[in-house]
């Protein structure tokens, strides 16, 4: 089964089940499905396909060169491979091409290139900002008429799925979350080598997961789990706001995760 088919199936499952962490089951979309044209390329050609595992950092491939063979998941700044989770608007690209600069108003999107739109995510503990991110992943799955948005890009601590987006219009969700809702929002603070959220959270808030107003396997109380969005297959705009009162080791502490987005999901 292709990566795109798996994503379509999992996005559908998320909406039906309304719970569970799908994070570990999702794979990055195949580079061929999210080429520069589909991502509303804003000046940097994505091209190519994912030819190997995700790099863990910058490198020159060990042979003093940088190309599609030594840098399949990033762009080349001279002989240095800038992998997708290290890219910014000033260094953006894919499949070993030369890194480019994103035009004003566009964002460097993992697995593709510069694209219009933005998505932000920030997290506070007890009212104090401890981290934020402006990277994301998004796509529109044609076969299931569904969109997804992952933040941060690569880390995927927040996963949002929408089904039937062609007919959805404006969507508003809060607790109690409808059991049969075609919208799903998952939050995890599990360790991930690419996840900025886990790296900045206090230890007691790590390794936790939440799904559609429910705390999974812990005694935390989800006091707010709001999601609003205006949807079409080619664009998603909206915001999210989550408050969690800690239980157990994090009793007496509060985690607040919030952000907004205006993104253009490339079709796949």
Does 61 or 160 have the greater pLDDT score?
A: 160
Residue 96 is assigned to a structural domain of this protein: no
* Arithmetic mean of pLDDT, 121-131: 96
Q: What pLDDT band is residue 185 in, cutting at 50, 70 and 90? A: very high
Residue 32 is assigned to a structural domain of this protein: no
> 18 pLDDT exceeds 80?
no
Residue 58 is assigned to a structural domain of this protein: no
- pLDDT for 107 equals 76
Q: What pLDDT band is residue 38 in, cutting at 50, 70 and 90? A: very low
Spatial CB neighbours of 260, under 8 Å, sequence gap ≥ 6: 119, 120, 238, 239, 240
* Arithmetic mean of pLDDT, 169-182: 90
Give residue 179's domain range: 3-23+116-263
Q: What whole-number distance in Å separates Cα of residue 147 and Cα of residue 248? A: 35
Percentage of the chain exceeding pLDDT 70: 73
Specify the DSSP class assigned to residue 202: -
Residue 185 is assigned to a structural domain of this protein: yes
Domain count, the chain: 1
Question: Which H helix or E strand runs over 166?
Answer: helix 165-168
Cβ neighbours, 10 Å, residue 71: 30
> 23 pLDDT exceeds 60?
no
Residue 104 is assigned to a structural domain of this protein: no
SS3 162: strand
- pLDDT for 145 equals 95
> 104 pLDDT exceeds 60?
yes
- pLDDT for 241 equals 98
Residue 230 is assigned to a structural domain of this protein: yes
Q: What whole-number distance in Å separates Cα of residue 182 and Cα of residue 85? A: 30
* Arithmetic mean of pLDDT, 203-218: 91
Could you tell me how many residues make up the chain?
268
Q: What pLDDT band is residue 240 in, cutting at 50, 70 and 90? A: very high
State pLDDT tens for residues 127-168. Answer: 999 999 888 888 899 999 999 999 988 788 999 999 999 888
Residue 94 is assigned to a structural domain of this protein: no
- pLDDT for 129 equals 96
* Arithmetic mean of pLDDT, 65-69: 91
Residue 166 is assigned to a structural domain of this protein: yes
Q: What whole-number distance in Å separates Cα of residue 134 and Cα of residue 153? A: 8
Q: Is the pTM of this model over 0.75?
A: no
Structure tokens at 37: 């044209």
């Amino acid at each position: 089964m292709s990566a795109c088919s798996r994503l379509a199936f999992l996005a559908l499952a998320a909406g039906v089940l309304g719970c569970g962490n799908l994070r570990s089951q999702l794979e990055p979309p195949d580079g061929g499905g999210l080429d520069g044209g589909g991502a509303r390329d804003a000046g940097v050609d994505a091209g190519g396909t994912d030819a190997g595992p995700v790099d863990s950092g910058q490198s020159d491939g060990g042979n003093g060169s940088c190309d599609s063979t030594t840098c399949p998941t990033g762009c080349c700044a001279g002989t240095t491979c800038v992998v997708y989770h290290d890219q910014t608007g000033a260094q953006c690209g894919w499949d070993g091409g030369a890194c480019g600069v994103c035009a004003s108003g566009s964002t460097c999107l993992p697995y593709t290139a510069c694209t219009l739109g933005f998505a932000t995510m920030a997290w506070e503990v007890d009212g104090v900002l401890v981290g934020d991110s402006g990277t994301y992943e998004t796509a529109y799955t044609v076969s299931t008429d569904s969109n997804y948005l992952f933040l941060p890009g690569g880390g995927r601590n927040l996963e949002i799925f929408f089904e039937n987006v062609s007919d959805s219009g404006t969507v508003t969700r809060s607790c109690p979350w409808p059991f049969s809702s075609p919208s799903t929002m998952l939050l995890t603070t599990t360790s991930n080598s690419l996840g900025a959220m886990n790296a900045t959270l206090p230890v007691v808030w790590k390794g936790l997961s939440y799904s559609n107003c429910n705390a999974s396997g812990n005694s935390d109380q989800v006091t707010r789990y709001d999601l609003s969005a205006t949807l079409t297959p080619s664009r998603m705009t909206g915001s999210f706001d989550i408050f969690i009162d800690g239980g157990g080791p994090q009793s007496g502490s509060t985690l607040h995760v919030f952000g907004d987005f205006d993104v253009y999901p490339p079709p796949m």
